[in-house]
Homo-oligomer: A and B are copies of this chain.
């Protein structure tokens, strides 16, 4: 479901990230390409949407307007396409196996929830989810071992199509007795000197967190590095060290009180994307599951408690005005 209006989507992403490079990364294209495409959009409209004479750039009045309108259009249009699309798979006639390869830390909860809901709707489809390291995932996608993959910071590989899925908040995670456990929020700077457990730096997440710490002049003492979210969780639980982890991934432990997740400022998020092999579109079953994921991802990382999806409004629209 890659679909049209790629440039409009890109602009929305650029506006949200307040950065061409970041947005480009989300789409797995180069900064140059992002710059050119937005520039071309502006030329077509005959208006500057972005005021680049200040950093970080700001949207012009026209840009504000365009952003609002574009989001609205995309929302409606995508919803419509999904609806039409779903007519294709005649009820429960779809069958087969959907194979997905995802990063460990991709928010297993979302994936399995979606899987369960999906398998109920499509009883003749079974979804197999495997958890792997990024390069294994890329390889599996390229070799057609899986229908699609889920990664963060798509490495803008050639030969894969990138589809932004959502952005995941990162939080400071520690045991309930840690000094930070009772805080409502922690600034990056306050982490200096604290003992930390990190991701391997050969993982994109690890590199991104390093960059974030450097950007914010934070200098925690990294005591260990692991390549696996579960190992990190375990290590944090049994030591007096903290880690920076996707908040969703520790929701269960937070609920049960075995871990604490503290908001980190400035906000650090990590893009989660779907990657597919270029050219060959996914089969009907795989496509249906992808759509299901995308719909699910529209909802925020709000507590799974009650409430409408409006929980997102706080973040998402605040940016846009």
Contacts and interface: CB of A to CB of B under 8 A. Distances in A.
B284 A46 contact: yes
Nearest to A48: B88
B5 A87 contact: no
Contacts of A73: 73, 76-77, 80
Interface string A1-19: 1111111100000000000
Interface string A60-82: 01100110011011001100110
A1 B87 contact: no
Contacts of A80: 65-66, 69-70, 72-73
A121 interface: no
Contact of A88 (B5, B8, B47, B88): B47
A186 to B, nearest CB: 40
B81 A45 contact: yes
A84 interface: yes
Contacts of A45: 1, 81, 84-85, 88
Given A45-B88, A88-B45, A77 B69 contact: yes
A44 B61 CA distance: 35
A119 to B, nearest CB: 19
A85 B46 contact: yes
A286 to B, nearest CB: 10
Interface residues of A, number: 36
B69 A88 contact: no
Nearest to A81: B45
A61 B90 CA distance: 12
A266 interface: no
A88 B8 CA distance: 18
A234 interface: no
A89 interface: yes
A287 interface: yes
A38 to B, nearest CB: 13
A7 to B, nearest CB: 6
**Interface-centre pick from A43, A44, A84 (highest chain B CB count, 10 A):** A84
Nearest to A5: B4
14 contacts: A1-B44, A1-B45, A2-B44, A4-B4, A5-B5, A45-B81, A45-B84, A45-B85, A46-B284, A47-B84, A66-B80, A69-B77, A72-B80, A77-B77
Closest 6 CB pairs of A and B: A47-B88, A69-B80, A46-B88, A62-B87, A73-B77, A66-B84
